[in-house]
Structure 1
């Protein structure tokens, strides 16, 4: 199971107002067990595009990367992991953290 150890998040600007809703980019630092095929000595992070639209929230895109090399990995999250990441993103939206 993946563990999120820290994050960076920002609202992605849509200067032309073409896309509905608000999109956020999250960079989630992950702790990955050594016996997991995703494990890397250099560390792993997950880039997530998270959408808030009409009161609903969801992940629209994500990609795993190795920290030092920026090499991307073609792995998917299982349902439980995706739900955990979505919940984490929802709880850590940039506006939410500023209000706390």
Structure 2
């Protein structure tokens, strides 16, 4: 289970108007216990892109990052964690 501590969300601009729907970029900070394989001393964050269209929202992609350096981590979330992330993003989309 993921523990989200804080997040930001920004509208991703499409200057050419070629993408359908709207895209949002989430940066979510996680609280990861030391015994977890995702644990990093400098913290762990998720950068996620979410697509919203016709009342539906879907996770397009995400990256796990070391919070202080922004270094890309070579981990993927487990299936249930990915579903939890998608649900969090859906619930926190801007109005």
Shorter-chain TM-score bucket reads over 0.9
Q: Distance in 1 between matches of 2:87 and 2:2?
A: 14
Residue 14 of structure 1 corresponds to 14
Residue 69 of structure 1 corresponds to 69
Name the structure where helix makes up a greater proportion of residues.
1
Secondary structure at 2:36's aligned position in 1? Answer: coil
Unaligned runs of 5+ in 1: 96-100
Is the contact between residue 2 and residue 33 of structure 1 (CA under 8 Å) also seen in structure 2? no
1:15 offset after TM fit, Å? 1.6
1:69 offset after TM fit, Å? 1.5
Q: Distance in 2 between matches of 1:53 and 1:94?
A: 13
Unaligned runs of 5+ in 2: none
Residue 98 of structure 1 corresponds to none
Scaled by the length of structure 2, what TM-score is found? 0.92
Q: CA RMSD in A?
A: 1.1
Aligned ranges 1:10-49 → 2 under 5 Å: 10-49=10-49
Scaled by the length of structure 1, what TM-score is found? 0.88
Is the contact between residue 49 and residue 60 of structure 2 (CA under 8 Å) also seen in structure 1? yes
